[in-house]
Structure 1
Amino acid sequence: MLRILPLLLAATSLLSVTGCVERMMQIRSEPTGAQVFLDGRHIGATPVTVAFDFYGTREVMVRMEETTRRGERSLAPQV
């Protein structure tokens, strides 16, 4: 029993860490400094990295003064 306890403890520790998934979306532009909106909410200037919790369609709008606007819908992967 004493020999099995360390193995059981190690297995339990590994299982507790493997269930965590951190989903990150990185948006970059050239030139940098463009304003980024995710689903209508301002999230910062490029380059920007933002975490998201769920899969599905997201709307990304990148806007820079005196340039053309461009928006796209992107399907986030289901993990």
Structure 2
Amino acid sequence: MRRQILKSFKQLEHNPNSGPIEPNLTRLKKNHRYLVSGHYKLIYRIIDKQVIINDVFDTRQNPSKMNDENRKEE
């Protein structure tokens, strides 16, 4: 699992726009993108040509938890 996530990080390093916009976070209007790696969804943004990972979300959870007010918004 760890290797798979690291491989996804490398993919983002070379092609940051490869992940689609995350529909569950559009209300934040910060252009969050995602990349799925196994059971995990890497939530990220591109800021000044840098990839910023905001969250690693376990996709076995209910997707509405992404909008949980207790989750930190970055």
TM-score normalised by the chain length of structure 2: 0.29
More strand by share: 1
Structure whose alpha-carbon radius of gyration is higher: 1
More helix by share: 2
